Chains A and B, each alone.
Chain A
């Protein structure tokens, strides 16, 4: 089956076996930040952004992404440097083994897109689908709020006031 979609800003055209999951497809394409922690939708370590929304790639068929835009942890940093979420996770100590980290980044990016200044409770709800066995989540939750603050202060004030929700 022929498939075309956008992966981390670049267009991809590839053949894919019917029945292959999106996780298998992406890992096969070298996007190995998409981690297989359970292959049944329980752990969130395979999360990717599909048109900006976090989804578990192990539960989707590859064929379902035809024409869509996919972002993985590999695509989060830009030329300028690490994404604020990546920076904040590093600074706060939210990375231990790092196996859950790509999935957490995706879920958090989705959350901050919808809710730029989340409360602790909102962060916890936003990350409820991601298992981390190392950290106890304390520093991950803090990091997401730190990243939100970083992103808010990077936004020009006037613009921030205009687009702010209120």
Chain B
């Protein structure tokens, strides 16, 4: 603690910011189109569940300008997963490029590559498909019913029980939960249900492809996982990895949806078959119904506590709807427990059982929060209910039970990402400060329990506390390379993927700090499988912590080489040299600049490239923590919820770039408020997503949100680079329970089903016998 930093901890200018505010061509779709580019369009299934009896593409193929029509009849029949995860992926290989059986409205039927997009779209209409319509599975309950139709009736060995529509199963047990519940002085039993939400990055999925001058396949993709994309495409299309290059330019947001290898296969096959460049952009509608979503879940939470509020037993039963394919089904499921249960680690009796089921509904996948969102909703509402039963302040119940520095939980070991987890002891936890600061700022003491009324509006405050992780221990791997240039600047090459979070800036700051140079002297290159070293990718809140550690290690090595060279030049003891301000100084005041060292090492004596590559494989995943507080007003006339004030106090360890860290919290909370109140794919009773444009899928606009305030508390994690932990995901978990708890404070109703639409709230108010006339 107490380390002083020159670059880290400062609000440096974002390294890509100047280009972005000028609208420079930095996104995939902005890059100049290559001559002869083919444009792809996709035909998707109108049925939730059907077998393709026959498909006739002859008319489409005959259309002038059409170069290729792809269906299950002429593409590789190789099972794989679209999940951009480490190898071997913990997701079932239940997907094919094109399948003779379609499993949701939006599933791939055919793709056309043509000279123009208009021609490609026209050709889609000429493809004749004969379907044998099958009975669909349109809910969790239908999936688990006896004799339910099977979403996957093909041989499928790595799903949990495909013959019962169960894609994945996960469990963990410590102590005796039934005995703990039976002997509790107070207990609660609450079930929450969450709905289909979508990431809605403003830039949809977009990929272009071409063969380079050596006939290697190049994919330029808005991906969070360029190295996984390369590996998966190589496997799927039987192309050696060394024949593929994946380039990630700037990305217009991802939030997990670009952790999928969703379009690359179509582009790659088109270019390999035709030799021509190709490009494809999902339409906004396709982005909604045919990409990935948040797993809808039903989570039952039972808690038992002593009369003094000490939690003795936690029982968590989860059913997750993974949709038609099991991408991320197991890992999101286990995360529901592993990111929720350790928070209340005093409880000796814990049980977690989770099942992920297949349905003929849109496919769920990785989405910021990654299961923690659903699990912590159930937990944090249950904690408020428990506080009510005990007659205690919810703050007090949480303060009494939450995990602390030096604490651990058996869940860390029991529940990993699709396999056993890793034991860890918490090295930093400033939750007490977060709770105190947040409560003070929202005015908890004065506002809680007041049920203030104004006309038909009632007011309340609510809160919840949250944790996430920082990367996946013993699975994630990141590498960074640094080399010194003539003028004392450095190139920093990282496989880490900046998807808009600012990670290029944060990683550049870490390198600059160690080497003693300003950020302006760091040239950051991120994510080109030919040019940058490996990184598992931007997911699981890994970049600052895992990739940042790789950068710190590489920078340490370069710093060592600089010091060695300076020691030669100054004829001094390396141990006594000081590195700062672009120079290295001896105790007697003599110094050499990094530029001089660079020139000497490149052109003068003892010539060599000062450079290093280092890797990081984390052994632990230190959780960031937040305390989230909101004040809401509920209109008892209409059921409308207005979020008046929102405060998050966060412990992310050292904030490498405080303003970017605040921005991560604010963006995540905004997304969470949207999910809680208005965003809904709105699946109809035929299994069709209705909320497929921004008119109907309502993400928050400026008018829907208060000035979300982020307070970063002082913290330092001993294992993180310069003390840093993650911050990007955690905030999205907060609004569901914080708003539900605030609405309860205002009205006495419990919101256990999302989204909290005005109609749903209105009905709940009427059921409680609360209406405007009461005011």
Identify the A interface with B (CB < 8 A). Answer: 30-40, 42-43, 45, 72-74, 76-77, 82, 86, 89-93, 95-102, 105, 120, 123-125, 127-141
Determine if B449 is an interface residue (Cβ-Cβ < 8 Å): no
Q: In the complex, how many angstroms separate the beta carbon of B348 from the nearest chain A beta carbon?
A: 39
* A133–B667 touching, CB < 8 Å: yes
* B17–A90 touching, CB < 8 Å: yes
Sample of 7 more A-B contacts, CB < 8 Å, known A35-B252, A134-B253: A37-B284, A42-B694, A97-B251, A102-B23, A130-B701, A134-B663, A141-B707
Determine if B53 is an interface residue (Cβ-Cβ < 8 Å): no
* A99–B202 touching, CB < 8 Å: yes
Q: Kindly identify, within residues 221 to 265 of chain B, every residue whose CB is under 8 Å from any CB belonging to chain A.
A: 250-253, 255
Which of B8-16, B67-75, B337-345, B508-516 participates in binding chain A? B8-16
Which of A35, A76, A99, A137 sits near B670, CB closer than 8 Å?
A137
Q: In the complex, how many angstroms separate the beta carbon of B187 from the nearest chain A beta carbon?
A: 37
Given the contacts A32-B23, A73-B23, A90-B18, A96 and B667 also touching, CB distance less than 8 Å: yes
Residue among B21, B24, B694 facing the most chain A CB atoms (10 A cut-off): B21
Q: How far is the CA of A33 from the CA of B19 in the complex (A)?
A: 11
User: Residue-by-residue, is B7-50 near A (CB-CB < 8 Å gives 1, otherwise 0)?
Assistant: 00001011011101111111101100000000000000000000
Residues of chain B within 8 A (CB-CB) of A102 are: 23
Which of A73, A128, A133 sits near B201, CB closer than 8 Å?
A133
Given the contacts A97-B500, A99-B252, A139 and B663 also touching, CB distance less than 8 Å: yes
Given the contacts A36-B29, A96-B502, A136 and B667 also touching, CB distance less than 8 Å: yes
* B694–A138 touching, CB < 8 Å: no
Determine if B157 is an interface residue (Cβ-Cβ < 8 Å): no
Residues of chain A within 8 A (CB-CB) of B18 are: 82, 90
Which of B17, B253, B284, B663 sits near A39, CB closer than 8 Å?
B284
Q: In the complex, how many angstroms separate the beta carbon of A38 from the nearest chain B beta carbon?
A: 5
Which of B499, B701, B708 sits near A138, CB closer than 8 Å?
B708
Residues of chain A within 8 A (CB-CB) of B255 are: 133
Q: How far is the CA of A32 from the CA of B703 in the complex (A)?
A: 28
Q: Kindly identify, within residues 604 to 647 of chain B, every residue whose CB is under 8 Å from any CB belonging to chain A.
A: none
Residues of chain A within 8 A (CB-CB) of B16 are: 98
* A135–B670 touching, CB < 8 Å: yes
Determine if B2 is an interface residue (Cβ-Cβ < 8 Å): no
Determine if B666 is an interface residue (Cβ-Cβ < 8 Å): yes
| In the complex, number of A-B residue pairs with CB atoms less than 8 Å apart | 169
Given the contacts A86-B21, A125-B703, A134-B253, A97 and B203 also touching, CB distance less than 8 Å: yes
Closest to B657 in A: A93
* B27–A136 touching, CB < 8 Å: no
Given the contacts A42-B694, A131-B701, A134-B667, A32 and B202 also touching, CB distance less than 8 Å: no
Nearest 8 CB-CB pairings of A with B = A33-B23, A97-B500, A98-B20, A99-B252, A136-B670, A73-B23, A136-B666, A42-B694
* A133–B707 touching, CB < 8 Å: no
Q: How far is the CA of A39 from the CA of B286 in the complex (A)?
A: 13
Closest to B661 in A: A93
Q: How far is the CA of A106 from the CA of B502 in the complex (A)?
A: 23
* A133–B202 touching, CB < 8 Å: yes
Which of B500, B699, B700 sits near A98, CB closer than 8 Å?
B500
Q: How far is the CA of A129 from the CA of B695 in the complex (A)?
A: 11
* A40–B693 touching, CB < 8 Å: yes
Given the contacts A40-B693, A93-B11, A101 and B708 also touching, CB distance less than 8 Å: no
* B20–A42 touching, CB < 8 Å: no
Residues of chain A within 8 A (CB-CB) of B11 are: 93
Residues of chain A within 8 A (CB-CB) of B500 are: 96-99, 134
Residues of chain A within 8 A (CB-CB) of B703 are: 124-125, 128
* A72–B707 touching, CB < 8 Å: no
Residues of chain B within 8 A (CB-CB) of A131 are: 202, 694, 699, 701
Which of A90, A140, A141 sits near B14, CB closer than 8 Å?
A90
Which of A31, A38, A93, A140 sits near B694, CB closer than 8 Å?
A38
Determine if B705 is an interface residue (Cβ-Cβ < 8 Å): yes
Closest to A40 in B: B693
A-B contact pairs, 5 of them (CB 8 A): A39-B283, A95-B21, A133-B699, A135-B670, A139-B663
* A93–B252 touching, CB < 8 Å: no
Q: How far is the CA of A34 from the CA of B27 in the complex (A)?
A: 12
Residues of chain B within 8 A (CB-CB) of A45 are: 202
Q: How far is the CA of A128 from the CA of B704 in the complex (A)?
A: 9
* A73–B21 touching, CB < 8 Å: yes
Q: In the complex, how many angstroms separate the beta carbon of B37 from the nearest chain A beta carbon?
A: 14
Determine if B773 is an interface residue (Cβ-Cβ < 8 Å): no
* A37–B202 touching, CB < 8 Å: yes
* A98–B21 touching, CB < 8 Å: yes
Residues of chain B within 8 A (CB-CB) of A127 are: 701-702
Residues of chain B within 8 A (CB-CB) of A101 are: 20-21, 23
User: Residue-by-residue, is B689-701 near A (CB-CB < 8 Å gives 1, otherwise 0)?
Assistant: 0000111000111
Which of B23, B27, B200 sits near A133, CB closer than 8 Å?
B200
Residues of chain A within 8 A (CB-CB) of B702 are: 123-125, 127-128, 130, 137, 140-141
Q: In the complex, how many angstroms separate the beta carbon of A95 from the nearest chain B beta carbon?
A: 5
Residues of chain B within 8 A (CB-CB) of A86 are: 21-22
Determine if B659 is an interface residue (Cβ-Cβ < 8 Å): yes
* B501–A96 touching, CB < 8 Å: yes
Given the contacts A38-B284, A133-B200, A99 and B27 also touching, CB distance less than 8 Å: yes
Residue among A30, A37, A124, A125 facing the most chain B CB atoms (10 A cut-off): A37
Determine if B544 is an interface residue (Cβ-Cβ < 8 Å): no
Determine if B193 is an interface residue (Cβ-Cβ < 8 Å): no
Residues of chain A within 8 A (CB-CB) of B199 are: 133
Q: Kindly identify, within residues 445 to 473 of chain B, every residue whose CB is under 8 Å from any CB belonging to chain A.
A: none
Residues of chain B within 8 A (CB-CB) of A77 are: 22
Residues of chain B within 8 A (CB-CB) of A132 are: 202
Q: In the complex, how many angstroms separate the beta carbon of A110 from the nearest chain B beta carbon?
A: 15
Given the contacts A97-B250, A135-B666, A137-B670, A38 and B21 also touching, CB distance less than 8 Å: no
* B671–A133 touching, CB < 8 Å: yes
Residues of chain B within 8 A (CB-CB) of A73 are: 21-23
Closest to A124 in B: B702
Q: In the complex, how many angstroms separate the beta carbon of A50 from the nearest chain B beta carbon?
A: 16
Closest to A138 in B: B666
Q: How far is the CA of A97 from the CA of B203 in the complex (A)?
A: 9
Q: How far is the CA of A85 from the CA of B663 in the complex (A)?
A: 18
* B22–A133 touching, CB < 8 Å: no
* B660–A93 touching, CB < 8 Å: yes
Which of B22, B204, B253, B666 sits near A33, CB closer than 8 Å?
B22
Q: How far is the CA of A29 from the CA of B663 in the complex (A)?
A: 34
* B693–A42 touching, CB < 8 Å: yes
Q: In the complex, how many angstroms separate the beta carbon of B643 from the nearest chain A beta carbon?
A: 12
Residues of chain B within 8 A (CB-CB) of A96 are: 253, 500-502, 660, 663, 667
Closest to A120 in B: B707
Determine if B662 is an interface residue (Cβ-Cβ < 8 Å): yes
Residues of chain B within 8 A (CB-CB) of A133 are: 199-202, 253, 255, 667, 671, 699
Which of B25, B707, B709 sits near A32, CB closer than 8 Å?
B25
User: Residue-by-residue, is B190-211 near A (CB-CB < 8 Å gives 1, otherwise 0)?
Assistant: 0000000001111110000000
